[in-house]
Amino acid sequence: MRKQSVAIPKQFRTVLACGLLAVAWVTLADLALGALVHEPQQLVWALIIKDALSVLGGGLLLRRWMSRDRRSQAQADQTAQREHAPMLRVLVSLMELSHKDTGDHGERVMCMAEGLARLAGIPDEALRDLKIGALLHDIGKLAIPEMVLRRQGTLSPQEVALIRQHPQFGRDLLEQADFPRVVLDIVYAHHERWDGSGYPLGLRGDQTPLAARVVSIVDAWDALGSDRGYRPEWPQARVLAYLRDGAGSQFDPRLVALFLANFDALKASWEQTRVVGSRQSLLTVCAA
Ligand SMILES: [Fe+2]
Ligand SMILES: [Fe+2]
Protein backbone atom coordinates (compact mmCIF):
# COMPACT_ATOMS: atom_id res chain seq x y z
CA MET A 1 0.00 0.00 0.00
CA ARG A 2 1.09 3.57 -0.69
CA LYS A 3 2.25 5.30 2.46
CA GLN A 4 -0.18 8.03 3.47
CA SER A 5 1.70 11.27 4.11
CA VAL A 6 0.50 13.29 7.08
CA ALA A 7 2.78 16.24 6.33
CA ILE A 8 1.10 19.64 6.20
CA PRO A 9 1.12 20.95 2.60
CA LYS A 10 3.86 23.49 2.00
CA GLN A 11 1.53 26.29 0.87
CA PHE A 12 -0.65 25.80 3.96
CA ARG A 13 2.46 26.01 6.14
CA THR A 14 3.44 29.23 4.41
CA VAL A 15 0.01 30.80 5.01
CA LEU A 16 0.07 29.59 8.63
CA ALA A 17 3.53 31.07 9.21
CA CYS A 18 2.41 34.33 7.64
CA GLY A 19 -0.68 34.41 9.88
CA LEU A 20 1.32 33.77 13.04
CA LEU A 21 3.84 36.43 12.06
CA ALA A 22 1.02 38.91 11.46
CA VAL A 23 -0.56 38.20 14.88
CA ALA A 24 2.83 38.62 16.59
CA TRP A 25 3.53 41.86 14.70
CA VAL A 26 0.09 43.36 15.45
CA THR A 27 0.31 42.46 19.16
CA LEU A 28 3.83 43.81 19.62
CA ALA A 29 3.14 46.92 17.56
CA ASP A 30 -0.03 47.68 19.57
CA LEU A 31 1.87 47.25 22.84
CA ALA A 32 4.70 49.46 21.60
CA LEU A 33 2.38 52.18 20.35
CA GLY A 34 0.38 52.06 23.58
CA ALA A 35 3.58 52.59 25.55
CA LEU A 36 5.07 55.28 23.29
CA VAL A 37 2.06 57.37 22.19
CA HIS A 38 -0.10 58.90 24.91
CA GLU A 39 -2.04 61.52 22.97
CA PRO A 40 -5.38 59.85 21.83
CA GLN A 41 -5.49 61.63 18.44
CA GLN A 42 -1.89 60.69 17.70
CA LEU A 43 -2.55 57.12 18.80
CA VAL A 44 -5.45 56.79 16.34
CA TRP A 45 -3.26 57.97 13.47
CA ALA A 46 -0.40 55.75 14.60
CA LEU A 47 -2.74 52.73 14.64
CA ILE A 48 -4.11 53.56 11.17
CA ILE A 49 -0.58 53.83 9.76
CA LYS A 50 0.44 50.64 11.56
CA ASP A 51 -2.56 48.73 10.14
CA ALA A 52 -1.89 49.97 6.61
CA LEU A 53 1.76 48.93 6.86
CA SER A 54 0.71 45.57 8.29
CA VAL A 55 -1.61 44.80 5.38
CA LEU A 56 0.92 45.96 2.80
CA GLY A 57 3.86 44.16 4.41
CA GLY A 58 1.86 40.96 4.97
CA GLY A 59 0.69 40.90 1.35
CA LEU A 60 4.21 41.40 -0.01
CA LEU A 61 5.66 38.77 2.32
CA LEU A 62 2.97 36.22 1.44
CA ARG A 63 3.48 36.84 -2.27
CA ARG A 64 7.25 36.40 -1.94
CA TRP A 65 6.94 33.17 0.04
CA MET A 66 4.33 31.73 -2.32
CA SER A 67 6.48 32.36 -5.38
CA ARG A 68 9.45 30.78 -3.56
CA ASP A 69 7.28 27.70 -2.84
CA ARG A 70 6.21 27.50 -6.48
CA ARG A 71 9.82 27.64 -7.64
CA SER A 72 10.93 24.91 -5.26
CA GLN A 73 7.92 22.76 -6.28
CA ALA A 74 8.82 23.17 -9.96
CA GLN A 75 12.41 22.13 -9.20
CA ALA A 76 11.18 19.08 -7.27
CA ASP A 77 8.93 18.12 -10.21
CA GLN A 78 11.84 18.40 -12.65
CA THR A 79 14.02 16.24 -10.43
CA ALA A 80 11.28 13.60 -10.17
CA GLN A 81 10.85 13.63 -13.95
CA ARG A 82 14.57 13.10 -14.51
CA GLU A 83 14.58 10.24 -12.03
CA HIS A 84 11.59 8.58 -13.70
CA ALA A 85 12.90 8.78 -17.27
CA PRO A 86 15.28 5.77 -17.15
CA MET A 87 12.71 3.76 -15.23
CA LEU A 88 10.11 4.53 -17.89
CA ARG A 89 12.41 3.25 -20.61
CA VAL A 90 12.99 0.02 -18.70
CA LEU A 91 9.30 -0.52 -18.00
CA VAL A 92 8.24 0.11 -21.60
CA SER A 93 10.99 -2.17 -22.91
CA LEU A 94 9.75 -4.85 -20.54
CA MET A 95 6.20 -4.44 -21.80
CA GLU A 96 7.34 -4.64 -25.42
CA LEU A 97 9.36 -7.78 -24.73
CA SER A 98 6.55 -9.44 -22.81
CA HIS A 99 3.58 -8.58 -25.01
CA LYS A 100 4.78 -8.47 -28.58
CA ASP A 101 1.31 -8.93 -30.03
CA THR A 102 0.06 -5.62 -28.62
CA GLY A 103 2.94 -3.78 -30.30
CA ASP A 104 2.98 -0.07 -29.53
CA HIS A 105 -0.46 -0.08 -27.91
CA GLY A 106 0.68 1.90 -24.87
CA GLU A 107 2.38 4.55 -26.94
CA ARG A 108 -0.53 4.96 -29.34
CA VAL A 109 -2.87 5.26 -26.37
CA MET A 110 -0.51 7.86 -24.91
CA CYS A 111 -0.59 9.90 -28.09
CA MET A 112 -4.37 9.81 -28.54
CA ALA A 113 -5.03 10.35 -24.83
CA GLU A 114 -2.94 13.51 -24.87
CA GLY A 115 -5.04 14.88 -27.72
CA LEU A 116 -8.35 14.00 -26.07
CA ALA A 117 -7.15 15.35 -22.71
CA ARG A 118 -6.36 18.71 -24.33
CA LEU A 119 -9.84 18.81 -25.82
CA ALA A 120 -11.29 17.95 -22.39
CA GLY A 121 -9.57 20.99 -20.91
CA ILE A 122 -6.86 19.23 -18.90
CA PRO A 123 -4.15 21.88 -18.44
CA ASP A 124 -0.76 21.58 -20.14
CA GLU A 125 1.11 21.16 -16.85
CA ALA A 126 -0.91 18.00 -16.08
CA LEU A 127 -0.41 16.42 -19.50
CA ARG A 128 3.00 14.92 -18.83
CA ASP A 129 1.74 12.79 -15.96
CA LEU A 130 -1.31 11.82 -18.01
CA LYS A 131 0.93 10.70 -20.87
CA ILE A 132 3.05 8.55 -18.57
CA GLY A 133 -0.09 7.00 -17.08
CA ALA A 134 -1.48 6.31 -20.56
CA LEU A 135 1.83 4.80 -21.66
CA LEU A 136 1.96 2.48 -18.65
CA HIS A 137 -1.78 1.84 -18.23
CA ASP A 138 -1.43 -1.93 -18.80
CA ILE A 139 1.87 -2.34 -16.93
CA GLY A 140 0.12 -4.72 -14.52
CA LYS A 141 -0.24 -7.25 -17.34
CA LEU A 142 3.42 -8.05 -16.80
CA ALA A 143 2.16 -10.10 -13.86
CA ILE A 144 -0.28 -12.09 -16.04
CA PRO A 145 1.05 -15.21 -17.80
CA GLU A 146 1.33 -14.77 -21.57
CA MET A 147 -0.66 -17.96 -22.19
CA VAL A 148 -3.63 -16.42 -20.38
CA LEU A 149 -3.42 -13.10 -22.19
CA ARG A 150 -3.16 -14.79 -25.59
CA ARG A 151 -5.67 -17.54 -24.94
CA GLN A 152 -7.95 -18.06 -27.93
CA GLY A 153 -11.51 -18.94 -27.07
CA THR A 154 -13.31 -18.59 -23.78
CA LEU A 155 -11.32 -17.83 -20.65
CA SER A 156 -12.12 -19.63 -17.42
CA PRO A 157 -13.64 -17.56 -14.58
CA GLN A 158 -10.31 -17.83 -12.73
CA GLU A 159 -8.42 -16.49 -15.75
CA VAL A 160 -10.87 -13.61 -16.13
CA ALA A 161 -10.45 -12.81 -12.43
CA LEU A 162 -6.67 -12.88 -12.84
CA ILE A 163 -6.71 -10.52 -15.83
CA ARG A 164 -8.99 -8.19 -13.92
CA GLN A 165 -6.31 -7.83 -11.30
CA HIS A 166 -3.91 -6.12 -13.70
CA PRO A 167 -4.92 -2.58 -12.56
CA GLN A 168 -4.12 -3.55 -8.97
CA PHE A 169 -0.84 -5.23 -9.97
CA GLY A 170 0.12 -2.16 -11.98
CA ARG A 171 -0.61 0.28 -9.20
CA ASP A 172 1.26 -1.85 -6.67
CA LEU A 173 4.28 -1.85 -8.97
CA LEU A 174 4.33 1.87 -9.67
CA GLU A 175 3.64 2.85 -6.07
CA GLN A 176 7.03 1.47 -5.18
CA ALA A 177 8.65 4.07 -7.43
CA ASP A 178 6.51 6.91 -6.11
CA PHE A 179 4.93 7.83 -9.46
CA PRO A 180 2.59 10.85 -9.47
CA ARG A 181 -1.03 10.43 -8.38
CA VAL A 182 -2.42 10.85 -11.91
CA VAL A 183 -0.28 8.00 -13.21
CA LEU A 184 -1.55 5.69 -10.48
CA ASP A 185 -5.14 6.82 -11.10
CA ILE A 186 -4.92 5.89 -14.76
CA VAL A 187 -3.25 2.55 -14.15
CA TYR A 188 -5.76 1.64 -11.44
CA ALA A 189 -9.00 3.00 -12.91
CA HIS A 190 -8.82 2.66 -16.71
CA HIS A 191 -11.30 -0.26 -16.63
CA GLU A 192 -13.92 1.52 -14.56
CA ARG A 193 -17.16 2.20 -16.43
CA TRP A 194 -19.42 5.24 -16.38
CA ASP A 195 -22.40 3.17 -15.13
CA GLY A 196 -20.43 1.63 -12.25
CA SER A 197 -20.13 -1.87 -13.74
CA GLY A 198 -16.37 -1.71 -14.29
CA TYR A 199 -13.46 -2.87 -12.18
CA PRO A 200 -11.64 -2.95 -9.79
CA LEU A 201 -13.85 -0.69 -7.63
CA GLY A 202 -17.03 -0.25 -9.67
CA LEU A 203 -16.71 3.54 -9.60
CA ARG A 204 -19.59 5.45 -11.15
CA GLY A 205 -19.57 8.59 -13.34
CA ASP A 206 -17.02 11.20 -12.34
CA GLN A 207 -15.96 9.18 -9.30
CA THR A 208 -13.46 7.79 -11.80
CA PRO A 209 -10.66 10.34 -12.24
CA LEU A 210 -10.93 12.32 -15.48
CA ALA A 211 -7.54 11.15 -16.74
CA ALA A 212 -8.60 7.51 -16.37
CA ARG A 213 -11.90 8.21 -18.21
CA VAL A 214 -9.92 9.75 -21.06
CA VAL A 215 -7.57 6.76 -21.30
CA SER A 216 -10.45 4.28 -21.10
CA ILE A 217 -11.97 5.58 -24.36
CA VAL A 218 -8.69 5.69 -26.25
CA ASP A 219 -7.68 2.29 -24.87
CA ALA A 220 -10.89 0.67 -26.15
CA TRP A 221 -10.57 2.40 -29.52
CA ASP A 222 -6.99 1.25 -30.08
CA ALA A 223 -7.49 -2.26 -28.70
CA LEU A 224 -10.61 -2.98 -30.77
CA GLY A 225 -9.02 -1.55 -33.91
CA SER A 226 -5.94 -3.77 -33.55
CA ASP A 227 -5.36 -7.40 -34.38
CA ARG A 228 -4.88 -9.22 -31.10
CA GLY A 229 -4.19 -12.77 -32.17
CA TYR A 230 -7.28 -14.10 -30.40
CA ARG A 231 -9.50 -11.87 -32.59
CA PRO A 232 -9.00 -9.85 -35.79
CA GLU A 233 -9.09 -6.07 -35.74
CA TRP A 234 -12.49 -4.45 -36.06
CA PRO A 235 -13.24 -2.11 -38.96
CA GLN A 236 -13.03 1.55 -37.98
CA ALA A 237 -16.76 2.18 -38.40
CA ARG A 238 -17.57 -0.67 -36.05
CA VAL A 239 -15.15 0.61 -33.41
CA LEU A 240 -16.59 4.13 -33.56
CA ALA A 241 -20.13 2.75 -33.35
CA TYR A 242 -19.08 0.78 -30.27
CA LEU A 243 -17.80 3.94 -28.61
CA ARG A 244 -20.96 5.84 -29.58
CA ASP A 245 -23.15 3.07 -28.15
CA GLY A 246 -21.05 2.93 -24.98
CA ALA A 247 -21.46 6.66 -24.21
CA GLY A 248 -23.27 6.90 -20.89
CA SER A 249 -22.83 3.22 -20.04
CA GLN A 250 -19.17 2.28 -20.46
CA PHE A 251 -17.75 5.71 -21.26
CA ASP A 252 -18.08 9.32 -20.14
CA PRO A 253 -20.59 10.67 -22.72
CA ARG A 254 -18.99 14.14 -22.88
CA LEU A 255 -15.59 12.63 -23.67
CA VAL A 256 -17.02 10.28 -26.30
CA ALA A 257 -18.70 13.24 -27.99
CA LEU A 258 -15.38 15.13 -27.99
CA PHE A 259 -13.53 12.09 -29.31
CA LEU A 260 -15.96 11.49 -32.17
CA ALA A 261 -16.26 15.16 -33.11
CA ASN A 262 -12.47 15.50 -33.34
CA PHE A 263 -11.65 12.02 -34.49
CA ASP A 264 -9.91 12.94 -37.75
CA ALA A 265 -7.48 15.33 -36.05
CA LEU A 266 -6.81 12.89 -33.22
CA LYS A 267 -6.20 10.07 -35.63
CA ALA A 268 -3.79 12.17 -37.66
CA SER A 269 -1.54 12.55 -34.61
CA TRP A 270 -1.94 8.85 -33.84
CA GLU A 271 -0.85 7.95 -37.39
CA GLN A 272 2.19 10.14 -36.91
CA THR A 273 3.12 8.15 -33.80
CA ARG A 274 2.97 4.98 -35.85
CA VAL A 275 5.28 6.49 -38.45
CA VAL A 276 7.69 8.08 -35.99
CA GLY A 277 7.86 4.88 -33.99
CA SER A 278 7.80 3.92 -30.36
CA ARG A 279 11.36 4.82 -29.42
CA GLN A 280 11.04 8.37 -30.65
CA SER A 281 7.69 8.96 -28.90
CA LEU A 282 9.08 7.49 -25.71
CA LEU A 283 12.02 9.85 -25.86
CA THR A 284 9.54 12.67 -26.36
CA VAL A 285 7.60 11.88 -23.21
CA CYS A 286 10.76 11.30 -21.23
CA ALA A 287 12.16 14.62 -22.28
CA ALA A 288 8.92 16.59 -21.85
FE1 LIG B 1 -6.00 -2.64 -19.07
FE1 LIG C 1 -4.80 -1.30 -22.92
For residue range 2-32, what is the model confidence (pLDDT) as tens digits? Answer: 444 455 666 677 777 777 887 888 788 888 8
Which of helix, strand or coil describes residue 191? coil
- From the CA of 109, the nearest ligand is 2
Between residues 97 and 198, the one the model is more confident about: 198
What value does the mean pLDDT take over residues 129-136? 93
168-171: list long-range contacts, CB under 8 Å, 24+ apart: 168/140, 168/200, 169/139, 169/140, 169/141, 169/142, 169/143, 169/144, 170/136, 170/137, 170/138, 170/139, 170/140, 170/141, 171/140
> Which pLDDT tens digit goes with each residue over 38-55?
888 888 888 888 888 888
Between residues 61 and 163, the one the model is more confident about: 163
Cα atoms in the Cβ-side hemisphere of radius 13 Å centred on 112: 31
Tell me the chain's radius of gyration from C-alpha atoms. Answer: 26
- From the CA of 187, the nearest ligand is 1
Ligand 2 midpoint to CA 113 (Å): 12
pLDDT of residue 140: 94
Question: For the chain, where are the alpha helices, taking DSSP H only?
Answer: 10-36, 40-98, 105-119, 124-135, 146-149, 157-163, 166-175, 181-189, 210-224, 236-246, 253-261, 263-276, 278-287
Between residues 254 and 52, the one the model is more confident about: 254
Ligand 2 midpoint to CA 80 (Å): 25
What are φ and ψ of residue 136, in 5° steps?
Answer: -100, 15
Between residues 27 and 282, the one the model is more confident about: 27
Ligand 2 midpoint to CA 220 (Å): 7
What value does the mean pLDDT take over residues 196-209? 98
CB 173 within 8 A of CB 139: yes
Ligand 2 midpoint to CA 264 (Å): 21
What value does the mean pLDDT take over residues 213-228? 94
- From the CA of 134, the nearest ligand is 2
Ligand 1 midpoint to CA 166 (Å): 7
Ligand 2 midpoint to CA 140 (Å): 10
pLDDT of residue 81: 67
What are φ and ψ of residue 104, in 5° steps?
Answer: -95, 30
Ligand 1 midpoint to CA 136 (Å): 9
Cα atoms in the Cβ-side hemisphere of radius 13 Å centred on 62: 17
pLDDT of residue 70: 78
Which residue in 229, 139, 122, 150 sits closest to 175, CA to CA?
Answer: 139
Would you say the pTM of this structure is higher than 0.75? no
> For the chain, how many residues are written?
288
What value does the mean pLDDT take over residues 170-195? 95
Ligand 2 midpoint to CA 221 (Å): 10
What letters, b where the CB count within 10 A reaches 16 and e where it falls short, cover 51-81? Answer: eeeeeeebeeebeebeeeeeeeeeeeeeeeb
Ligand 2 midpoint to CA 169 (Å): 14
Between residues 57 and 278, the one the model is more confident about: 57
> How many angstroms separate the CA atoms of 250 and 243, rounded?
8
